[in-house]
């Protein structure tokens, strides 16, 4: 593939935006899973789907290569 083509995949540019988007995706999916569980009807299948989405985002975060010069991102843990 020609490197300038729009379909060429970048080498591995991991930036703060991509990390923040994955973190937000995981946090949002967990929030929606809790919402489903807190409903009177307790939508367990919906909560399970969202929990799986959150785990996928967390696995992607874990697989990101960390740059040696940058410190690990600090995330606030609620209730932990």
- Does the residue 54 lie in any domain? yes
- Does the residue 74 lie in any domain? no
Q: pLDDT tens track of the chain, all 80 residues? A: 455 555 555 555 668 888 999 999 999 999 999 999 999 999 999 999 999 999 999 999 998 876 655 555 666 666 54
- Does the residue 1 lie in any domain? no
How many independent structural domains does the chain possess?
Answer: 1
Mention every residue, 6+ apart, whose C-beta is less than 8 A from residue 73: 16, 19, 23
Q: What pLDDT was estimated at residue 16?
A: 86
- Does the residue 69 lie in any domain? no
Q: How far is CA 71 from CA 1, 16, 46, 60, 66, in A?
A: 35, 12, 36, 18, 8
Q: What pLDDT was estimated at residue 57?
A: 95
User: CA-CA distance, 16 to 32, in Å (whole number)?
Assistant: 24
**Full-model pTM:** 0.62
Structural domain of 51: 16-63
How many helices (H) and strands (E) in the chain?
A: 2, 0
- Does the residue 68 lie in any domain? no
Q: What pLDDT was estimated at residue 46?
A: 96
Q: What pLDDT was estimated at residue 51?
A: 97
């Amino acid at each position: 593939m020609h490197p300038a083509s729009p379909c060429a995949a970048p080498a591995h540019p991991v930036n703060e935006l991509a990390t923040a988007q994955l973190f937000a995706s995981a946090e949002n999916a967990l929030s929606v899973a809790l919402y489903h569980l807190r409903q009177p009807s307790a939508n367990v299948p919906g909560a399970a789907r969202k929990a799986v989405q959150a785990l996928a985002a967390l696995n992607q975060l874990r697989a990101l290569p960390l740059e040696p010069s940058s410190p690990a991102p600090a995330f606030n843990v609620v209730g932990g």
